[in-house]
Amino acid sequence: MGVKLPLALIAAALALALAVAAGVWILGDDESDRASDRAAPRLSGLPLREEPDPRELIVRVAPGGRLALRDGPNGRILSRIGDRTEFGSPQVLSPVELYRGWIAVRHTSLGNDGVAWIEARRAPLVYAGRLVRLEVDLSHRELRVFSNDHLRRRMSVAIGAADTPTPPGEYYVTDKLPGARFGSYYGCCILALSGHQPNLPQGWSGGDRLAIHGSPTATWGKAVSNGCFHASRRNLRYLMKTVPLGTEVVVHA
């Protein structure tokens, strides 16, 4: 579909968002959450400078807001979501397409490949620029951090074992959580992703969400997980500090 939008508001928000450092607006802890509420520009009728690339945006449900996810512009409502995830983080979405005042977004409730549509002009949304991107190369078992399209860091990660392979795809970071809240196996930190693991082992009861987290032993660089990525404590601390919620995560063979 072509992009013919009355989205001057989004373009202006994007221009403002790109002027600030990544990781300041949408991080997920209480302090940065409050800073996000103060700093992130809302739709405000500013003049259109250029049509925004939706993949350069992070979209957050404004505090107190509720959002209808539809199967198309003016389509059937698939579900409704609030301003917090199931883990209590700010609710962020990953835009993939703009069309006549509507935004197609990814959300964890839609599966690995699904998208839903939201009406930009009426939805309670906050916008920020997406300046950080993660890429996972499964063949090299390596995670790469890009900022402003410059490679900033490489790190070795564990990937899914042969019988529980990590599914390639395009995901985003939905939550940043302390590992201790869920068990010592997860190490210091968890970056939950929007993706789901369709190749779970028989009898597994730990859920199907993909994530980047720690491990009790040094598994990074090996194909041993149930689909998640294991990283060292040092690298996880780096990711928790520098990767905002909503960051794109591209996983490829």
The per-residue pLDDT for range 9-36, each reduced to its tens digit, is 455 454 444 433 333 333 334 434 443 3
DSSP three-state, residue 192: strand
What is the per-residue pLDDT for 206? 80
pTM: 0.83
What residues are paired with 154 via a beta bridge? 144
Q: Could you report the per-residue pLDDT of 104-148, keeping only the tens digit for each?
A: 999 999 999 999 999 988 899 999 999 999 999 999 999 999 999
Annotate 222-244 with b (16+ C-beta within 10 A) or e (fewer). Answer: bebbbbbbbbbeebbebbbebbb
Q: Collapsing DSSP states into helix, strand and coil, what is residue 117? A: strand
CATH number of 132-252: 2.40.440.10
Residue 174: closest CA among 208, 210, 148: 210
**Predicted confidence band at 203 (pLDDT cuts at 50, 70, 90)?**
confident
Choose between 155 and 43: higher pLDDT.
155
Tokens standing for residue 158: 């564990």
Asked if 211 and 191 count as a contact pair (C-beta separation under 8 A), the reply is: yes
Q: What share of the chain is helix, strand, coil (3-state, %, to 5)?
A: 15, 35, 45
> What residue type is 120 in one-letter code?
A
DSSP 65-110: --EEEESSTT--EEEEE-SB-TTSSB-EEEEEEEETTEEEEE-GGG
Q: What is the spatial order of strands in the sheet that 209-213 belongs to?
A: 150-156, 142-147, 132-137, 248-252, 169-178, 189-196, 209-213, 229-230
The pLDDT value recorded for residue 71 is 97
The residue behind tokens 């250029």 is 50
CA 228: distance to chain centroid?
15
Q: Where are the domains of the chain?
A: 8-129, 132-252
Higher pLDDT, 33 or 220: 220
**What would the DSSP string read from start to end of 131-148?**
-EEEEEETTTTEEEEEET
In the chain, the amino acid numbered 11 is A
Beta bridge partners of 18: none
